[in-house]
Structure 1
Amino acid sequence: QIPQKVDERCFFYCSQTSRGRSEGQLPMCRSICLRKVFPHELMTPTPNNGNDKAKIEGHAGLPLPPEGQPPKRGYFSGVLEEPKETRYWREGWYLWTSRSPWSACDKIDSMQKNLPTQALRRQTREKEEERIYNEWAKRPPGPKPSVDEVSQHLRTELDGSFSSQIGVNFPPIFHWYVSSLIALPPPLLARIEKLLNPTFKVMETVRESFESGAQQELAMRMWEKARSPDPFILARNVCRKVWEKWNEGPPDGDAKSDE
């Protein structure tokens, strides 16, 4: 039985300027997600009996997306060196961050897909990205860019279009280059849970109040109270008291002190 529990919470923030909008620039976006991988997500039907489950472990498991893998070396040289280590999904908590608007859209889309479906989709995209990169690697060699030019190119690509267009001296930059996925260690996890526990309780209480109809009942009572004569009577009484005090003038002590 799959538990009815929240396994991911995300917070997205995007902003745009008037000039950026007029020039067709992408918005500035920042994203952060907390993802909990439950045991049932690492289970797969066995070949013998579809009702039985076998836990996926080690190299038979599901690899993390590129933002969770060690970086590849030689990206700017045109000769990629595959990392010696491949990281896989494990039970526990993960922290995902990004500053790419495309990554934010992709993350929202991935929240309706399980880990095996995400892995298959990622394989298809990696093949396309590899094809684009290989086309760039076969380009006629141009002048070697300086360190400043490389830094400027990265800033432009990572904060700008995130395009996969092939340049002369620079390889295409894909949006997962500005995303990261890390597994949270248990001690850090305990602190985060303690920090966010009050927030989760408040959100759960608010959700239950909406489901039970308490919020709707409160709104109806407030509306009925606002339509009743009580608020107007209260306001009238306050205004009358203020007017009476105003007509009475200052106390006797204040009048004598003025003389």
Structure 2
Amino acid sequence: MSSTGDSSTSKNSHKKDSPGSPAQRRPAVLFESLPGIKIITPPKGQFSPQVDERCFTFCSQTITGRIHRREPECYSICVRNVFAHEVRNIIAFKNHRDVDSTGKARYPLPVEGQHRPTHDEAELQPPAPKETQHWEEGLYVWFSKSRWAAQDHMSQMSLGLAGQMDLARRRAARHAIWNEYQAYLKRQAATQATPPEPIQPPIHANGVEELATPLPSLEEQRHHADDKWFGPIVPPHPGPDLAYQADVSYLLHPTAPVPVLHTQVLSLLKPARTMLAIANESLVSGEQQKFWVRVWNKAFTKEPFTLAARTIKWSLDKWNSKESDSSSPDS
């Protein structure tokens, strides 16, 4: 009997000492059930959720323009903030390959951001080639009055500077192919109107013709330019011309505030600053307090009522004198 009781007692004590038993659980803390406060620092660089560009577009259309199917008048403005990791290799972001000696990436600005000669410069002399402008760290302001330019700009908001540069190169290549094809069509039309002149064989100094290679026939000469654009091979249209977008769009990089506007604002606010300085000086010196104390003391004397009575009497006298002058006959 004693051995059975001892074994049951040891089993009960083993159950109480087990890790999963309620006796071994940590007591609950009151603050554990309350929601905690987490301080999260947003990532920087390429993983930052910070906004780097905002665009605003306003379009309008008239009744006549809708009837004649004209393009709407659109005005767009975008503010772009270029960060350091986009134009420079930093510790956490080293993806730029074409960098200069200072470590700055060389991503060229779009067509609207490059130097364009004015109308007077173009008339005086042919424009000299200017240095290519590249993206730099800081704010850029882009504005345009073209609907197509606004749509194209918004479609490029999902691309980085490298992607925009590659897209511009592909578009320039497509425009070059399209221009070459258009020039080919013009040459072909001119060739059909006037047949090409036959190629003369080269002649040596002794006057003997050199016929080492056979001369192409007139038909071969006519279709020599058709080898590249044979049959239905027609390049696709590249879209709006980049030169046209440069005429209706502008990209500015304001590095510093305009000094003239800043000076004008300061001169406009100068009287207000002077007035506030005088008021502050009178308050600090106690003149304002003395003045209002004198006003309060004068309010309980006969002087305010005497002044008011004199003012009313003077106004009535003036009124009566005007009525008498208007009622008297002309002399």
| TM, length-normalised to structure 2 | 0.39
| TM, length-normalised to structure 1 | 0.49
Structure ranking higher on relative contact order (CA contacts 8 Å, 6+ apart): 1
Structure having the higher Rg = 2
Q: Which has the higher strand share?
A: 1
